[in-house]
Amino acid sequence: MIKDLAAREDGTVRVSGWVEKVRDQRYVQFVVLRDETGAVQLVNGGVLREPDPENPRSDILVPRTRTISELTHGTFVTVTGELQHNERVKLGGVEIQIEEIEVVAASLPDNPVADDSGIDVRLDWRFLDLRRPEQNLVFRVQTTFLHALRQVWIDHGFIEVQTPKLMASASESRAELFTVEYFEGQAFLAQSPQFFKQMAQAAGFGGIFEVGPAFRADPSFTSRHATEFTSVDCEFSWVDSHEDVMELHEELIVAGITAVKEKHGAEIEKLFGIELEIPSRPFPRIPLAEAKEIVKERGYEVPRADADMDPEGERQIAAYVKEKFGHDFVFLTDYAWSIRPFYHMRHAEDQSLTKSYDLIYNGTEISTGAQREHRIEILEQQAKEKGLDPEELGFYLDFFRYGVPPHGGFGMGLNRVLMLMLKQSSIREVTYLFRGPNRLLP
């Protein structure tokens, strides 16, 4: 691989990759070759052109030179040559003097993706867009981040599960459900693994986690919404309140960002121009009602008093937290019962509030968490209050008829985390293959 060349001694090497650039000069040719690990300069020097006996003022290209001249951007080649260390070479301080070059797979000359192509064009040709070093880095960062999260869960004795994505009933709101034909009936694509995460608590699994797809039939075209996204979910038993969930959540976030900074920090700074900051613990915590008052004092009032914090409110409270605490994260806590799902636990001393939170990162909500209600009689009553039919929730409510410990958890959008971590303008940039209201291809 190209990343290994700098550590090798001078001598014969064999490399493969995509042609990124060709500089065809009269007596020397340069090729920039890239694989998934980096780029290297190839040199075709020496006597590259032979005199034309019929016209002494012109040259005839020798075969190898002609091959290089005809290389198109994106052509995949294999090269054998002499590796030479040269401090003047900007690409890693090494270059390869070409001895043999084989065109493995030629690329069409009319590359549909240019440096100034818009996001829609790049998504149409996503496999070409993903060749960019910035895009390659995004998914290396994702891999490192998830590995760090998994390590924390495993160290805590958690179990990884894979829950079904075909469901017989809604887990959140019917308004955002995708309905699919299912033999003689119909099924729904899972909005979240919520019910199945809680089933694991009734089953005695204790802590569990999942990284998997979730689906929302939300016709939004914003930079942070998608109809299919990767959800990072966690649920565990023996909690005393949502504070226990927040403590684990921030431990996971700190571990993930620390691992990314240690492994990719220099490359992120080079390609994205940002220096990652590892957040300190504990993260700031502000009750939602208080946060709305803070935002109001800053000159912005959330339109509805009985509603969630809107995007501008999230940006304003994040700016306040950055100014006051120097922190990129803030937990907004104690959401009103009127805007939370039926399975969130209410405060005993104030039934209008829930033991829940949203986590805001760089001005955008990335996660919702809570202590769940585990008492069957209260769950049934709360479902009715939300206009749900307990009969349709029968399989879920059965979990709580045979003893289940107090528990809580969260669901977090992985793509939003990456977008905000790398300061990208849209989750489209950090999603392998984006799905939205008007995009099902490629």
| Annotated binding-site ranges | 172, 216, 365, 368, 372, 413-416
Neighbour count for residue 195 (Cβ, 10 Å):
20
At residue 268, φ and ψ (nearest 5 deg) are -65, -45
Binding residue ranges for ATP: 365, 413-416
Structure tokens that stand for 70 in this block:
């005809």
Other beta carbons less than 10 A from residue 300's beta carbon? 16
Distance CA 388, CA 195 (A): 15
Candidates 246, 234, 270, 427; CA nearest to 331 is 246
Whole-number Å distance between alpha carbons of 256 and 335: 27
d(CA 257, CA 144): 9
Token pair 């995004």 in the structure block, residue: 138
Annotated binding site for L-aspartate: 172, 216, 368, 372
Distance CA(225)–CA(246), nearest Å, equals 24
How many angstroms separate the CA atoms of 431 and 429, rounded?
6
Q: Is 165 helix (H, G, I), strand (E, B) or coil?
A: coil
Euclidean distance between the first and the last CA atom of the chain, given in angstroms as a whole number: 29
Helices 414-421 and 133-155: angle between axes, nearest 10 degrees: 120
- Other Cβ atoms within 10 Å of 107 Cβ, number: 16
Amino acid at position 65, single letter = T
Closest CA to 410 of 228, 217, 243: 243
Residue of 315, 320, 428, 426 whose CA lies nearest to 361:
315
Name the token pair of 369: 């968490």
- In which element (H, E) is residue 16 found? strand 11-24
Q: Are 409 and 245 in contact (CB under 8 A)?
A: yes
Q: Give residues with Cβ within 8 angstroms of 221, minimum separation 6.
A: 436, 437, 438
